[in-house]
Structure 1
């Protein structure tokens, strides 16, 4: 696998020289200062690319060129936003970058209720807690009919927990859920969020899939013309939340995706954490099935709990079998005669990084370096002990 590391630009506490020290050769980043839906100018692309290359690294994957909400809803100025997206694709290709990750999740990117959940080891992890999500939806967001999405047991536990929470704890939960990554949603408040999700009222899974299909049929020909591989990221978490439909969460969804446009340019970012949070997904089987459409790998592990909660576990532990996952990846790499770009995802906050301020949650240096080293060692062990 080609080892890469996520970088959030010059505001990131993990600098390019630090990434160089991990042994990774590639950087995964985006123009986070460009507003969602606007064209990426060639000058800005070249500026970021030159900075990465000046540190002895390669800009391997763009993550992401965000998709404007009007495209997802196919309303208002969605046609102009799609034209902007096509122009951005042409511009990045002109700058020599040919891999683009994106997602089609309504309103928010990945969602967690805890950004610093304490682990027995002394570190912290990202966590999605079903009870706390019910608290957010029913008591803080006060979404209409939200209680119908939760069991009576979850709702009772949520009521009891909410009554015991302080104002600061309630505020922290709200901030955690509404946190957006750079370039997606910033400074989101409850009233603004209520307006945003209201746009999706009545939008079904079939509607959203139809809108994704429309988008792909518009942009994949441009990607093909410019030698670009598009790679959709699965929904995280892989189930409906806040009344918003999730449409890339299972093997059946990925079947639909590849059938929307039959092109090698229409591919997948295979995230073992996002897909692994769905107990119905057989990850090694899916890797082999979609072998020719997987263009990018996010390797991490989540520990699923019986009530639908999960947290980010150690990369080689958790509910997914990372040995079988990496083995499947190495098999398809051999068959394709290439290395797939991979990045270790959502590391624990440990050691000196526990004192790091203003870091992006899940993206501190040492936890991801630990995950990268573990995956690197696992891959070497498999390749030397199994006929690859």
Structure 2
């Protein structure tokens, strides 16, 4: 995953042989507008990287909560999808979570091999926090709001030729700080996919979240099959209630078998490493969650390349 303008990460990616990119627009206003996407897409192209995935979300709090103003938010998502289609950007990674209770970690300093530092989550600490102000919303309302959203945007994605890839809730718990969550199990994913039998409505298969669901990751890959549009390659040890993010080569999941499962279902789309330990001398970036430092990601890319060659 790269920022929208060239920096050290772009150079490292090119030196590692990366030629396809995933972008997140940290700190960029109105990034979904055509001209911003156009300049970003061409910036990647001019540096020898094809921009393949937008991994970001315009403001959607009112949409998730079903509040007044959601139609205006949905119009922005439609504009994003249309602009991506015009520019040949294939995949849109999004989440169905109320932003203030999105990705949560309770520690970013768990020691591991050689003094590297991992991140993790312990639900006991979240239970002690105050409930979120929107804790009164029900699971049924979230389902209704999600169906309303999909009814509006999936036809636009189809017309634009863009694949929508829904990321799991992280952590994949049924409720966090009083707010229900839906994208927390393979069964719920299948229910969500059944809302629209469209090849443009699919999954960001974040392996760490599926591992935290305490499901067999390989079986989940095969169950979701051709609805997988994007992959986050990572692993965790533990459950959704309490987990630690591991080195890519040191978690409980058979990562080679996962690559084989993707090949078995015919997946040949984008895949990126995710959530790595922090190594000697590294600092977290402003605005980024723990897990986005550089050296661990370089290790992960090399590891992934080796797995891909082994299973070719």
Q: TM-score, normalised by structure 1?
A: 0.75
Counterpart of 1:20 in structure 2 is 14
Matched position secondary structure for 1:276: helix
Q: Which has the higher contact order (CA 8 A, sep 6+)?
A: 1
Equivalent of 2:117 in 124, 127, 135: 124
Higher Rg of the two aligned structures: 1
Whether 2:1 is the aligned partner of 1:9: answer no
User: Quick one: distance in 2 between partners of 1:127 and 1:379?
Assistant: 28
Sort the Cα spacing of 1:357 and 1:273 in 2 relative to 1 into closer, same or farther, 3 A. Answer: closer
Counterpart of 2:279 in structure 1 is 350
Deviations 1:71-125 (A, max 9, x none): 1111111112111211121112112212101000122331101123322421111
User: Quick one: distance in 2 between partners of 1:286 and 1:378?
Assistant: 19
Equivalent of 1:365 in 288, 294, 305: 294
Counterpart of 1:253 in structure 2 is 188
Equivalent of 2:237 in 262, 278, 303: 303
User: Quick one: distance in 1 between partners of 2:209 and 2:78?
Assistant: 27
1:8 is displaced (CA, Å) by: 3.0
Whether 2:57 is the aligned partner of 1:86: answer no
1:356 is displaced (CA, Å) by: 6.8
Equivalent of 2:52 in 43, 50, 60: 60
Whether 2:140 is the aligned partner of 1:206: answer yes
In the TM superposition, what are the counterparts of 1:160-309 in structure 2 within 5 Å? 197-201=132-136, 203-239=137-173, 240-279=175-214, 281-304=215-238, 308-309=241-242
1:283 is displaced (CA, Å) by: 1.5
Counterpart of 1:331 in structure 2 is 264
Deviations 1:188-227 (A, max 9, x none): xxxxxxxxx32341x2222212211110111000010111
Sort the Cα spacing of 1:112 and 1:355 in 2 relative to 1 into closer, same or farther, 3 A. Answer: closer
1:18 is displaced (CA, Å) by: 1.7
1:16 is displaced (CA, Å) by: 1.2
1:308 is displaced (CA, Å) by: 2.8
Q: What value does the CA root-mean-square deviation take over the aligned residues?
A: 2.1
Equivalent of 2:94 in 91, 102, 126: 102
Sort the Cα spacing of 1:355 and 1:258 in 2 relative to 1 into closer, same or farther, 3 A. Answer: closer
Sort the Cα spacing of 1:233 and 1:127 in 2 relative to 1 into closer, same or farther, 3 A. Answer: same
1:272 is displaced (CA, Å) by: 0.4
Deviations 1:218-257 (A, max 9, x none): 1000010111110000010000211111101111111111
Contact kept, 8 Å, 2:32 with 2:80, in 1: the verdict is yes
Contact kept, 8 Å, 2:285 with 2:292, in 1: the verdict is no
1:278 is displaced (CA, Å) by: 1.5
* Matched residues, number: 309
Matched position secondary structure for 1:223: helix
Contact kept, 8 Å, 1:300 with 1:315, in 2: the verdict is yes
Counterpart of 1:340 in structure 2 is 269
Counterpart of 1:174 in structure 2 is none
Counterpart of 1:72 in structure 2 is 64
Sort the Cα spacing of 1:289 and 1:7 in 2 relative to 1 into closer, same or farther, 3 A. Answer: same
Unaligned segments of structure 2, at least 5 residues: none
Deviations 1:296-320 (A, max 9, x none): 0001000116x93111111133232
Deviations 1:261-298 (A, max 9, x none): 1100000000001121121x221111111111001000
**Greater CA deviation, 120-129 or 244-253?**
120-129
Matched position secondary structure for 1:291: helix
Matched position secondary structure for 2:311: helix
1:355 is displaced (CA, Å) by: 5.3
